[in-house]
């Protein structure tokens, strides 16, 4: 693809050699003369001066210089679109593989794909242009929306609703029992988990993540939310729209996360906590049971506290060795004064 063609497709302007042929995308540091890279930060701007990339996607205010550029208001977004142009999603040939097992009263939409050794149980509904990868299990009365894709070896338990254009990666388990037990006579007895899971449109769920069904009612994940790998959403959680959750984060039962929250990796959230709209939870922090993180607030640490307070406490901790030495010196001086006073008496 030529630079001019890529710029037109991105709805952007170009400078330099519009006829230069581009064959791929690449990192700014290592991109070659036929690859396109992007400048998305000040640090990247410094690297860009020495980059050998054949074309750079840069912000509109990028200074004039004699090289081939594409100017875009949001270079990262434009580059993401360019990546999809050079590396389009592999289209699956519609059809049901001969080794797949299809139950009774199953509906499979036009142009959908069901891969080798997949199992689709009774009463399931598969939308138009959906994809069920090899070795997947789809339980009874599951609904999978148009254009949604299950990577190989995904497990969907019974009575789960999945919206349109959802992506679920390998090893994910949707709809398993929540961790519910009651103590009876000194033994833990299982509390039946008879609720459901609902996943909204345009959600993406990473590899080996788990979303548990509700004990009663619904565990829900809202439209556009993105879960990284190895995220655990427990029973009766309600995750809002366009929430972003990084890897190895765990939500205890009954947690509510409101729209557009951002949650870092390895965060632990206690039972019935509430994370309000556009709150930010820093990586590794711990939110205590029933805690409320207020709208727009950024918290860090365990227990999670406002970022400024957390940084102040870290600074105080860093000063503890000096403080310890000062206290030891004061004790030494006091002891010397006491001995001197005792000698005078």
C-alpha–C-alpha distance, residues 104 and 335, integer Å = 88
Q: How far apart are CA 3 and CA 17, in angstroms?
A: 7
68: Cβ–Cβ under 8 A, 6 or more apart, which residues?
A: 3, 14, 15, 16, 17, 18, 20, 54, 55, 56
Exactly one of 169, 232, 235, 310 is catalytic; name it: 235
Q: What is the C-alpha to C-alpha distance for residues 207 and 154, in angstroms, rounded to an integer?
A: 9
How far apart are the C-alpha atoms of 122 and 7, rounded to whole Å? Answer: 49
Rg of the chain over Cα atoms, rounded to whole angstroms, equals: 28
Task: Check if the beta carbon of residue 213 is closer than 8 Å to that of residue 176.
Answer: yes
**Residue 167 backbone phi and psi in degrees, to 5:** -120, 125
Peptide bond into 313 cis (omega under 30): no
User: What is the Cβ-side half-sphere exposure of residue 322, based on CA atoms within 13 angstroms?
Assistant: 5
> 233 with 218: CB under 8 angstroms?
no
Q: Confirm if 280 and 295 have CB atoms less than 8 A apart.
A: no
Establish whether 235 is a catalytic residue. Answer: yes
Judged by DSSP in three states, 57 sits in strand
Question: Which of 213, 201, 275 minimizes the C-alpha distance to 245?
Answer: 275
- Which residues are part of the catalytic machinery? 235
């Amino acid at each position: 693809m030529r630079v001019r063609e890529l710029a037109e497709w991105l709805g952007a302007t170009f400078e330099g050699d519009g006829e230069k042929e581009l064959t791929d995308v690449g990192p700014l540091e290592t991109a070659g003369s036929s690859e396109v890279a992007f400048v998305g930060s000040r640090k990247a701007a410094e690297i860009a001066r020495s980059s050998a990339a054949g074309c750079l996607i840069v912000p509109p205010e990028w200074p004039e210089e004699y090289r081939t550029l594409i100017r875009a208001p949001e270079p990262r977004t434009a580059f993401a679109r360019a990546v999809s142009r050079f590396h389009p999603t592999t289209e699956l040939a519609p059809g049901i593989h001969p080794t797949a097992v299809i139950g009774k009263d199953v509906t499979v939409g036009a142009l959908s794909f069901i891969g080798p050794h997949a199992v689709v149980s009774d009463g399931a509904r598969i939308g138009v242009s959906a994809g069920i990868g090899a070795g997947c299990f789809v339980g009874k009365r599951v609904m999978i929306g148009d254009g949604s894709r299950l990577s190989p070896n995904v497990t969907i338990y019974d009575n789960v609703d999945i919206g349109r254009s959802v992506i679920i990666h390998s090893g994910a388990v949707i709809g398993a029992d929540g961790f519910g037990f009651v103590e009876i006579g000194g033994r833990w007895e299982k509390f039946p988990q008879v609720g459901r899971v609902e996943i909204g449109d345009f959600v993406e769920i990473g590899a080996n993540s788990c979303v548990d069904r509700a004990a009663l009612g619904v565990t829900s994940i809202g439209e556009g939310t993105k879960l990284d790998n190895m995220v655990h959403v427990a029973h009766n959680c309600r995750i809002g729209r366009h929430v972003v959750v990084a890897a190895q984060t765990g939500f205890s039962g009954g947690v509510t996360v409101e729209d557009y929250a951002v949650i870092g990796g390895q965060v632990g959230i206690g039972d019935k906590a509430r994370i309000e709209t556009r709150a930010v939870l820093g990586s590794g922090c711990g939110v205590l049971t029933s805690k409320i993180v207020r709208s727009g607030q950024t918290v860090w640490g365990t227990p999670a506290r406002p970022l400024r307070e957390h940084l102040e406490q870290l600074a105080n901790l860093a000063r503890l060795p000096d403080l310890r030495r000062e206290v030891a010196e004061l004790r030494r001086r006091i002891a010397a004064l006491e001995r001197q006073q005792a000698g005078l008496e």
